């Protein structure tokens, strides 16, 4: 709530307002990486959880494990449209209003569905909880475990089928936020890059493009999993295995997240450090940083540019490799023979290789503006 207050009362400059910098540069950029590295830290930071445990333990309406992904999918899609399509998502006043309404809305929904609404219907808690299942570190029954990405899923044989819709929207968002800046996309929507007047001139095109990309990704991934299991001798019910297989999309989504937002993070985190010392933009120096100047000099030397691009490309490649290994491990949970596992993995491996090339192309192609 303090950040929301600062959003309304602080600087109108997004690069000098604590709310804007925290939401877009710290929470949105860093939290997914933290979740998949050190475990479910979001469970301790979640602003609704304490209130839910105190006042909304018993639900008035029981929420279905599978259908709940409709809520989280709709929530993340609306967030994506706000982030990628809306003309001013980093305006402090607007962002503070959106955060406040979203906070109140989830309190209201917890009143109906209880505290379990957070892990089932609230899109960010659902996303972060899924990411934590891939983490290197996790707790179970009071014991600390350390293992490779996805080790927690070793004995998982089922996950709600509609999770594939949720993860398709997440991956589509992170891919489209890059594709929508390419000359190819401007050619598709028939907009001259030299006459581009900003987001306000392509709201409809980008909205439909994001939704179409998510639908196509959903269809292609479902088809990929179906084809992988259509030619094996074991009897498999598609509805029972599509959800657990969709978790293999998570490492790819995180890889795109790291690769696409690395450059903006390197700059914006400096602004956040600076605003910590003067959150009200009154000329204070609370943490004694002195005359701190934000630098972008690492974009001006070939050595650092090469290093940044290497990290971005490596993130995409490593993310896809982990996804392939995870998909293979997941299939071993419910398939009995090695031949069935190998056959089932052929289409999804082709899909992931193709998506790797798409990611590297988006990363390397020139962009508009």
Examine the pLDDT at 285 and tell me if it is beyond 80: no
Q: Where are the alpha helices (DSSP H) in the chain?
A: 2-9, 18-21, 28-38, 42-45, 49-55, 68-84, 92-113, 117-120, 123-132, 163-179, 183-188, 203-230, 238-246, 249-277, 302-334, 338-364
In this predicted structure, what is the pLDDT of residue 185?
Answer: 92
Helices (H), 114-200: 117-120, 123-132, 163-179, 183-188
Q: Any idea where the domains of the chain sit in the sequence? A: 2-364
pLDDT band for position 7 (50/70/90)?
Answer: confident
- The pLDDT of 170-192, averaged and rounded, is 92
Give residue 155's pLDDT.
67
Query: Among residues 48, 260, 70, 240, which one has the least CA distance to residue 165?
Result: 70
Write down the pLDDT at residue 369: 66
Which range, 6-10, 216-220, 240-244, is most confident? 216-220
Give the phi and the psi of residue 137 in degrees, each rounded to 5: -130, 135
pLDDT tens per residue across span 304-335 = 999 999 999 999 999 999 999 999 988 988 88
Given a cut of 70, whether residue 293 has pLDDT beyond it is yes
- The closest of 1, 10, 5 to 279, measured between CA atoms, is 10
Per residue in 128-171, pLDDT (tens digit) is: 998 988 888 887 777 888 887 777 776 677 789 999 999 999 99
CA geometry: angle at 186 spanning 185 and 190, to 5°?
120
What is the CB neighbour count within 10 angstroms for residue 66?
15
Q: Largest Cα–Cα distance in the chain?
A: 71
Q: Which residue has the tokens 């602004």?
A: 271
Nearest to 199 by CA among 88, 362, 76, 365: 88
Strand pairing category for 143-146 and 137-140: antiparallel
What's the rounded Cα separation, in Å, for the pair 302 and 311? 14
pTM given for the model: 0.92
């Amino acid at each position: 709530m303090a950040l929301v207050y600062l959003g309304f009362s602080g600087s109108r400059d997004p690069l000098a307002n604590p709310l804007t910098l925290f939401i877009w540069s710290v929470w949105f950029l860093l939290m997914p990486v933290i979740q998949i590295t050190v475990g479910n830290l979001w469970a301790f930071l979640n602003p609704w959880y304490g209130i839910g445990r105190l006042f909304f333990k018993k639900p008035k309406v029981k929420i279905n494990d599978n259908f709940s992904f409709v809520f989280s999918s709709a929530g993340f899609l609306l967030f994506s449209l706000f982030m990628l399509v809306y003309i001013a998502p980093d305006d402090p006043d607007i962002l503070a209003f959106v955060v406040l309404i979203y906070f109140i809305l989830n309190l209201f929904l917890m009143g109906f569905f209880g505290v379990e609404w957070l892990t089932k219907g609230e899109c960010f808690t659902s996303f972060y909880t899924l990411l934590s299942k891939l983490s290197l570190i996790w707790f179970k029954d009071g014991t600390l475990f350390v293992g490779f990405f996805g080790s927690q899923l070793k004995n998982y044989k089922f996950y709600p089928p509609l999770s594939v819709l949720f993860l398709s929207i997440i991956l589509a968002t992170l891919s489209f936020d890059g594709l929508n800046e390419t000359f190819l996309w401007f050619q598709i929507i028939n907009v001259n890059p030299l006459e581009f007047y900003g987001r306000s001139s392509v709201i409809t095109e980008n909205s439909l493009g994001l939704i179409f990309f998510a639908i196509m990704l959903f269809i292609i991934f479902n088809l990929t999993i179906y084809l992988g299991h259509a030619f094996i001798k074991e009897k498999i019910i598609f509805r029972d295995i599509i959800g657990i297989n969709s978790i293999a999309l998570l490492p790819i989504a995180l890889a795109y997240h790291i690769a696409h937002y690395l450059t903006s993070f390197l700059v914006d985190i400096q602004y956040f450090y600076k605003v910590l010392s003067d959150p009200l933009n009154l000329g204070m120096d609370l943490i004694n940083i002195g005359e701190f100047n934000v630098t972008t000099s690492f974009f001006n030397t070939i050595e650092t540019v090469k290093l940044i691009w290497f990290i971005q490309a490596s993130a995409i490649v490593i993310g896809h490799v982990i996804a392939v290994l995870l998909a293979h491990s997941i299939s071993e949970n419910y398939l009995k023979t090695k031949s069935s596992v190998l056959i089932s993995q052929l289409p999804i491996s082709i899909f992931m290789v193709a998506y790797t090339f798409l990611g590297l192309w988006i990363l390397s192609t020139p962009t508009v503006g």
